[in-house]
Amino acid sequence: MTPAARVAAAIEVLDRHLGGEAAEAALTGWARANRYAGSGDRAAVRDLVYDALRCRRSYAVMGGALTGRGLMLGHCAAQGIDPGNIFTAERFAPAALAEAERGPRAAPEGLDALDCPDWIAPLLETALGEDFAPVMASQRHRAPLFLRVNAARATRPEAAAALAAEGIATVPRHESNYALEVTENARKVASSLAYLHGVVEVQDLSSQCAVEALPLPEGGRVLDYCAGGGGKLLAMAARAPANFVAHDVDPRRMHDLPARAERAGVAVRLAEPGKAPRGQDLVLVDAPCTGSGTWRRTPEAKWRLTPARLAELTALQAKILAEAQQFVAPGGVLAYMTCSLLAEENETQVARFIANHPDWHLAESRRFSPLSGGDGFFMAIFRRKT
């Protein structure tokens, strides 16, 4: 496909998404209807679509409309590409430029330039302070790919060498003992032997740092109460021997966990919904949240989030924390994590829990900023008062 044909495909996908279809579903639908497109073309179209979603507001300003065509015109303006070379009406290219689409466009300003929804900006400014603008600017760019070296399989230098042998370049990150940042050939990771043999797992840098900060009870009992895919539980299991149990209200989310655990060489038991074991030394609550710290990777979530959904999530988080604390043994630890930037889901949630459960106290809390490279992330560690 030519560059112009790829832009035309991105316009089609974006229009489907703006009409209400999820971005991944729209991309899948386009790929199935255009099977001539090779893997490189599909990847290029995907990149165009997700870059446009990260920068939806600023691209719409520069492109003159919140449409697939307007967003791709904005993309051309942002990248310094002459749209006249793309919008040519030639075979597979987008329709030729209209007179109104020619000439310079006004540069986006304020929240347009930061690609931030109006309603959430005050909440983010309160939570981030002087970092608000830099953090929102960072969310306009593609996230790096981070890998966690499985300490049960290899050392970090051994893992880096194995990846390099397959053409995948990495650099170690000082923030974590096990983190590698992929600098070349990120798309090869999923098919690499290092990944397939459980030497490395994909895991964000901030998530890795938060898990490393957890006080793991060697030989003790650990429950991941909202396990999902189980990435954090696998990271814990690679660090120290313990009795690891995964639980999730929707067991379908844990479907791949047994296979991943086997690949990683660690033992994890799955609990049925509502049947999590009590008496745990460490209970982790990786709570459902807005995901505002991950908007580089899930940009459509930024535009679909509403005040009502935020209220639903904060109520759910409080409910889950109240449930999870019942499974902690005397003297044990309750850990709370979100991939959110908002105080409503982080510090305010912690204060609410302490107020409603005076037998607990906050031992530690920490924010992880996207300005450090990883996702926006939050962690709090509670201990029961003696």
User: What is the DSSP secondary-structure string of 179-195?
Assistant: EEEEEE-GGGGGGSHHH
Separation CA 376–CA 357 (nearest Å): 27
**One-letter amino acid of 168:** I
365 touches 354 (CB < 8 A): no
Separation CA 14–CA 10 (nearest Å): 6
User: What is the DSSP secondary-structure string of 286-349?
Assistant: E-----GGGTTT-HHHHHH--HHHHHHHHHHHHHHHHHHGGGEEEEEEEEEEES---GGGTHHH
Query: What is the chain's length?
Result: 386
Q: Which of 55, 116, 209, 339 is the catalytic position?
A: 339
Whether 339 is catalytic is yes
Alpha helices in the chain (DSSP H): 3-18, 23-33, 39-54, 56-63, 68-79, 110-114, 121-128, 132-138, 156-164, 193-196, 205-212, 231-239, 257-264, 299-304, 307-324, 347-356
**Which are the catalytic amino acids?**
339
